[in-house]
């Protein structure tokens, strides 16, 4: 396999240059984010990071050796998702329109690319025997589409703090690249690592630190949905095909936080009689902020946990821990996150002595 270092450096530098350039023209394109009751950032911030990352990734793929270039069906589907996200950043599309565009792109990526979840772990032979291969294949196809669309939106929903979505995506991509290398899927290593380089280039502008109190650029819906779709695609790729694979449930460790946060959020909104797409401050990161955890520390906590949970998938695979154990083990982060959400939500709603309960979030 050729040395990837020049390609990764090019991807990083391309992202830096493109973000810096688009930062200047974004206001003229109307790609800006303004503060609101739910968005408590300071000033008007350009929302161009997603477009810049996608452009850096696409250009970087063109510079790869032909044997390492990603499937262009995937890149085309990703372009549809990015375009829908960019239009949403500019015009604030209705959720159903966004969802239809994402579903269309997911179906194209999966059907045309012949790309679907196949390795369900130790239970796969039993499922084949019980359901039959044609029925199981059809079920896996539906699960693949739902997973890809779901993760696309999960990363969109977690994008609420400076550096959070980018840092969480970088953690997932890092572990996916190592997992791909471990099983010898060098084609996927190159694609994943290139996107990781582009994300790191964006984070130069999006991360808070002691010398910069706030982000200079946001990724917007174009960026968060692109990263969710790409990570979903790579997870599906590592769990499918004639090449060596990793069981799909094991790979869920690298993205379990955004997945559980999104599912929990949808259930709570439905139980409250609201649309699952309605905006509020019930996200995991919002609950941390409302408990008094500083902005930067809240992002670091979630990113740090994402890194630790992703390590479980990698070390579990390297150490040959049975996938049944790793699958059941997913209950631990799920239960922990749900318990925290329940505790934080109760604390937020309990009135102080002699005071009325606060109005519910909207």
pLDDT per position as a tens digit, 223-244 = 999 999 999 999 999 998 777 8
Query: Distance (Å, rounded) from C-alpha 37 to C-alpha 281?
Result: 10
Tell me the Cα Rg of the chain: 20
Length of the chain equals: 362
Average predicted confidence (pLDDT) for the chain:
88
Q: Give the pLDDT of residue 67.
A: 63
Please say if the pLDDT value at position 2 is more than 80: no
**Is residue 203 a contact partner of residue 52, using CB atoms and an 8 Å limit?**
no
| 164-182 and 133-158 helices, crossing angle to 10° | 140
pLDDT per position as a tens digit, 10-40 = 899 999 999 999 999 999 999 998 876 555 5
Kindly write down the DSSP assignment for every residue of 246-292, as one continuous string: --HHHHGGGGHHHHHHHHHHHHHHHHTT--TT---S-SHHHHHHHTT
| 220-238 and 186-206 helices, crossing angle to 10° | 160
Q: Give the pLDDT of residue 358.
A: 37
Q: How confident is the model at residue 342 (pLDDT cuts 50, 70, 90)?
A: confident
Domain boundaries of the chain, sorted by first residue = 5-246
pTM (predicted TM-score): 0.92
């Amino acid at each position: 396999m050729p040395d990837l270092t020049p390609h990764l450096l090019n991807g990083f530098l391309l992202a830096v240059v493109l973000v810096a350039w688009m930062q200047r023209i974004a206001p003229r394109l109307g790609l800006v984010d303004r503060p609101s009751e739910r968005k408590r950032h300071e000033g008007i911030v350009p929302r161009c990071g997603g477009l810049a990352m996608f452009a850096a990734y696409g250009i970087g793929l063109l510079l790869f050796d032909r044997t390492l270039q990603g499937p262009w069906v995937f890149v085309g589907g990703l372009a549809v998702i990015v375009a829908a996200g960019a239009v949403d950043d500019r015009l604030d599309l209705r959720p159903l329109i966004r969802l239809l565009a994402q579903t269309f792109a997911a179906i194209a990526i999966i059907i045309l690319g012949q790309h679907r979840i196949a390795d369900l772990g130790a239970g796969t032979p039993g499922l084949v025997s019980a359901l039959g291969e044609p029925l199981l294949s059809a079920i896996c196809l539906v699960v693949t589409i739902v997973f890809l669309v779901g993760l696309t939106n999960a990363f969109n929903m977690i994008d609420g703090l400076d550096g959070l979505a980018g840092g969480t995506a970088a953690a997932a991509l890092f572990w996916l690249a190592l997992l791909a290398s471990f099983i010898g899927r060098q084609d996927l290593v190159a694609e994943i690592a290139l996107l990781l380089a582009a994300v790191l280039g964006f984070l130069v502008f999006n991360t808070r630190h002691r010398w910069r109190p706030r982000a200079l650029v946001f990724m917007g819906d174009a960026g968060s949905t692109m990263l969710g779709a790409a990570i979903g695609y790579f997870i599906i790729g590592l769990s499918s095909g004639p090449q060596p694979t990793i069981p799909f449930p094991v790979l869920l460790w690298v993205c379990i936080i955004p997945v559980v946060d999104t599912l929990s959020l949808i259930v709570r909104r439905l139980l409250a009689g609201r649309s699952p797409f309605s905006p509020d401050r019930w996200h995991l990161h919002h609950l941390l902020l409302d408990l008094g955890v500083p902005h930067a520390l809240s992002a670091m906590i979630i990113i740090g946990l994402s890194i630790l949970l992703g390590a479980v998938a990698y070390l579990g695979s390297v150490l040959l821990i049975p996938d049944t154990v790793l699958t059941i083990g997913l209950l631990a982060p799920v239960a922990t996150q749900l318990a925290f959400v329940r505790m934080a939500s109760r604390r937020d709603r309990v009135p102080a002595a002699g005071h009325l309960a606060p109005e519910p979030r909207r």
